[in-house]
């Protein structure tokens, strides 16, 4: 891996530091993120609701709100239909809570990933008809099948689609209303599905003149979906995540209090990274191997006994998820070891659980820095998860062969599709051809480094200052620092196949705790006497009520 340190002319850095009224270190971090004016500095460091765009910049938002308020006034049954991932679940739960606060008759439906997939089927229609549903609102899902929409309309059910994925087909002639930042001129194209649900709620409350405090009181639900969907940590998403993390200190959602307690986390110090690595996977597990509807109920439920029951199911499903993931991951790793420097991975199996291949897909793609497509085959269909690398748009590649797919969707670097088994071999040949031609040469992975910073000078005040730039994630990566003459004085390896390590490092008289994810293979006991250069990110770790500093090692040599 190549390290790339960003540098600036000394006089320029001093000038900008005075202009920003920030230290040279913070100024450099801001400049590295493309923030070059005092106005942008203020907006970035202190995002607030005043920075949010009007929800009526969405196409059809006015018509959507009018239809929802008509349902409210006529006491019509409304069903929210959400995707089974964390983003869809969170957005569904949030919209149910917000609409019920207005006294609306709202229910929800999350399709079972293993048995239903995403789509309108007879089971769903029976569910809707039994409840005399008049309005059907999707969250994090676009229905592109004209026959499915016609089935809803033939049963006198109006359809509102809220989504953030790229639109594949024009269905405007079917009388469907849509709220999607990627359709039209909405300024923030990078909202999550739950973020779109938040904007819809904002528009509804604005039209009826209701107090918007309730929207922000429950925004920690939206935050979880936003973090889990790995959208850019910029623009409106910064406010959503920052406000949501702040809410966790005294969350109004009883279930979240229990989960935080179960994970032994300090609610005063939970980060976006904690949400992504610890909290979201527990919610995701039920959707991947069991029943996502239970997670929506988890956000809504107030009864202690029922909440404990849901959490036990989550824990059970999480254990199953880990088992399935390990089995598939180990199988693929064994196959990769027999390949000679692969430029891509395309693998399929009838044994794989379709609910967990996406996670395995991500891990393999990140480890080898190559595109990965994994296909689970069942009942005559192949369900695929696809992950790509920077500069290679997997969505566009799939779009070119969409006529052979039952359905597909996603983003530039992460997508999925469903294909009839009779077309699977043709799709496999097509993808192998496109990926091989797109990857004729290896692209060395680059690790961007923000600044040189000695670990000897790292203290709580400096880290608090750095963390003003949080939340960190896509398009606002954790700040990486470089230091040298570092000794590893002790370590232990952990995780599946000893993938990770934790321990302590020393520089002169400073000893500090470290953790290295996916770097266990690089650290050998026989090299303990060596001096290393390290790239690291400092983070706070909490033990009970105490905070201490730990270094996340990103690479060393």
Q: What is the CATH number of the domain that holds 355?
A: 3.10.310.30
Q: Domain ends where: 438, 462, 478?
A: 438
Supply the DSSP symbol for 477: P
Do 131 and 271 belong to one domain? yes
Q: What is the CATH number of the domain that holds 466?
A: 2.40.50.460
pLDDT of residue 177 exceeding 70: yes
Neighbour tally for 3: CB within 10 Å: 15
Do 299 and 358 belong to one domain? no
Supply the DSSP symbol for 342: -
Q: Domain ends where: 418, 438, 458?
A: 438
Determine what percent of the chain is predicted with pLDDT higher than 90: 69
Do 538 and 459 belong to one domain? yes
Q: What distance lies between CA 165 and its chain's CA centroid?
A: 13
Say what angle helices 357-368 and 304-337 make with each other, to 10 degrees. 50
Q: What is the pLDDT of residues 226-281, one digit of tens each?
A: 999 888 999 999 999 999 999 999 999 999 999 999 888 889 889 999 998 889 98
In a domain, 43, yes or no: no
In a domain, 367, yes or no: yes
Q: Do 215 and 201 contact (CB within 8 A), yes or no? A: yes
Query: What is the per-residue pLDDT for 314?
Result: 87
Q: Which residue has the tokens 């819809």?
A: 200
Do 248 and 123 belong to one domain? yes
Tell me the pLDDT band of 210, cut-offs 50, 70 and 90.
very high
Query: What is the per-residue pLDDT for 406?
Result: 83
DSSP letters, 377-435, are: EETTEEEEEEE--TT--HHHHHHTTGGG-SEEEE-SSEEEEEEEHHHHHHHHHHHHHHH
Do 208 and 239 belong to one domain? yes
In a domain, 536, yes or no: yes
Q: Please, what is the Cα angle at 469 between 34 and 273, to 5 degrees?
A: 115
Tell me the pLDDT band of 70, cut-offs 50, 70 and 90.
very high
Tell me the pLDDT band of 47, cut-offs 50, 70 and 90.
very high
Structure tokens at 52: 């949010």
* pLDDT (average), residues 324-331: 92
**Of 205 and 150, the one with more pLDDT:** 205
- Count how many domains the chain has: 3
* pLDDT (average), residues 169-187: 89
Q: What is the CATH number of the domain that holds 244?
A: 3.90.1640.30
Beta strands in 140-184 (DSSP E): 158-162, 177-179
* pLDDT (average), residues 331-343: 92
Do 433 and 457 belong to one domain? no
Q: What is the pLDDT of residues 15-26, one digit of tens each?
A: 999 999 999 999
Do 274 and 176 belong to one domain? yes
Do 295 and 346 belong to one domain? no
Tell me the pLDDT band of 390, cut-offs 50, 70 and 90.
confident
Q: What is the pLDDT of residues 516-548, one digit of tens each?
A: 998 998 988 877 789 999 999 999 987 666 789
In a domain, 37, yes or no: no
Do 429 and 464 belong to one domain? no
* pLDDT (average), residues 106-118: 76
In a domain, 323, yes or no: no
Quote the CA–CA distance of 3 and 191 in Å, as a whole number.
31
Q: What distance lies between CA 168 and its chain's CA centroid?
A: 22
Do 422 and 457 belong to one domain? no
Query: What is the per-residue pLDDT for 444?
Result: 65
In a domain, 46, yes or no: no
Q: Domain ends where: 412, 438, 464?
A: 438
In a domain, 326, yes or no: no
pLDDT of residue 297 exceeding 60: yes
Q: What is the pLDDT of residues 470-514, one digit of tens each?
A: 999 888 999 999 999 999 999 999 987 788 999 999 999 999 999
Query: What is the per-residue pLDDT for 525?
Result: 80
Q: Are strands 158-162 and 133-139 parallel, antiparallel or unpaired?
A: parallel
Query: What is the per-residue pLDDT for 339?
Result: 92
Quote the CA–CA distance of 410 and 126 in Å, as a whole number.
29
69: exposed, middle or buried (Cβ count in 10 Å: 0-12, 13-18, 19+): middle
Quote the CA–CA distance of 36 and 477 in Å, as a whole number.
17
Do 419 and 272 belong to one domain? no
Structure tokens at 313: 């199911």
Query: What is the per-residue pLDDT for 535?
Result: 98
pLDDT of residue 440 exceeding 50: no
Parent domain of 512: 2-6+446-556
Query: What is the per-residue pLDDT for 85?
Result: 86
Do 297 and 419 belong to one domain? no
In a domain, 156, yes or no: yes
Quote the CA–CA distance of 508 and 455 in Å, as a whole number.
10
Please provide the average confidence, as pLDDT, over all residues in the chain: 91
């Amino acid at each position: 891996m190549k390290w790339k340190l960003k540098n600036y002319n000394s006089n320029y850095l001093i000038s900008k530091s005075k202009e920003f009224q920030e230290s040279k270190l913070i100024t450099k971090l801001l400049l590295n993120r493309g923030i070059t004016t005092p106005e942008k500095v203020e907006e970035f460091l202190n995002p607030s609701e005043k920075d949010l765009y009007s929800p009526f910049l969405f196409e059809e938002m006015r018509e959507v709100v009018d239809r929802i308020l008509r349902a409210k006034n006529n006491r019509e049954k409304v069903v929210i239909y959400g995707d089974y991932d964390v983003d869809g679940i969170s957005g569904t739960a949030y919209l149910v809570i917000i609409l019920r606060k207005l006294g609306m008759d709202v229910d929800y439906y999350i399709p079972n990933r293993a048995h239903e997939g995403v789509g309108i089927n007879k089971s769903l229609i029976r569910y809707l008809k039994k409840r005399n549903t008049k309005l059907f609102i999707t969250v994090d899902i676009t229905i592109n099948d004209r026959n499915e929409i016609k089935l809803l309309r033939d049963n006198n059910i109006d359809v509102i689609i809220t989504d953030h994925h790229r639109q594949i087909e024009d269905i405007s002639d079917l009388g469907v209303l849509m709220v999607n930042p990627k359709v039209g001129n909405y300024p923030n194209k990078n909202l999550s599905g739950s973020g779109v649900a938040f904007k819809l709620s904002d528009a509804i409350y604005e039209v009826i003149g209701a107090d918007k405090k309730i929207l922000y009181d429950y925004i920690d639900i939206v935050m979880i979906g936003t973090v889990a969907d790995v959208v850019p940590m910029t623009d409106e998403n910064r406010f959503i995540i920052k406000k949501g993390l702040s809410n966790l200190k005294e969350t109004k959602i009883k279930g979240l209090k229990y989960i935080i307690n179960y994970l032994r986390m300090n609610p005063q110090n939970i980060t976006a990274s904690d949400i992504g690595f610890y909290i979201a996977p527990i919610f995701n597990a039920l959707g991947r191997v069991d029943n996502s509807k239970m997670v929506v109920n988890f956000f809504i439920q107030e009864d202690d006994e029922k909440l404990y029951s849901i959490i036990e199911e989550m824990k059970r499903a999480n254990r199953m998820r880990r088992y399935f993931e390990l089995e598939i991951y180990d199988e693929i790793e064994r196959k990769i070891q027999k390949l000679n420097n692969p430029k891509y991975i395309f693998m399929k199996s009838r044994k794989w659980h379709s609910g967990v291949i996406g996670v395995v897909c991500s891990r393999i793609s990140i480890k080898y820095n190559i595109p990965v497509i994994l296909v689970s085959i069942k009942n005559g269909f192949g369900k695929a998860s696809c992950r790509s690398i920077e500069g290679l748009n997997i969505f566009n590649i799939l779009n070119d062969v969409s006529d052979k797919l039952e359905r597909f969707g996603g983003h530039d670097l992460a997508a999925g599709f469903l294909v009839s088994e009779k077309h699977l071999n043709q799709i496999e040949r097509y993808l192998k051809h496109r990926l091989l031609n797109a990857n004729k040469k290896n692209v060395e992975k680059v690790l961007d480094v923000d600044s040189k910073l000695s670990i000897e000078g790292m203290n709580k005040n400096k880290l608090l200052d750095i963390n003003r730039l949080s939340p960190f994630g896509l398009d606002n990566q954790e700040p990486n620092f470089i230091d040298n003459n570092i000794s590893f004085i002790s370590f232990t390896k952990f995780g599946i196949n000893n993938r990770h390590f934790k321990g302590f490092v020393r520089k002169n008289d400073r000893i500090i705790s470290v953790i290295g994810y996916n770097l266990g293979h690089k650290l050998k006991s026989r090299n303990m006497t060596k001096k290393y250069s390290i790239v690291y990110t400092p983070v706070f770790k909490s033990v009970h009520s105490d905070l201490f500093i730990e270094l996340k090692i990103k690479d060393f040599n």
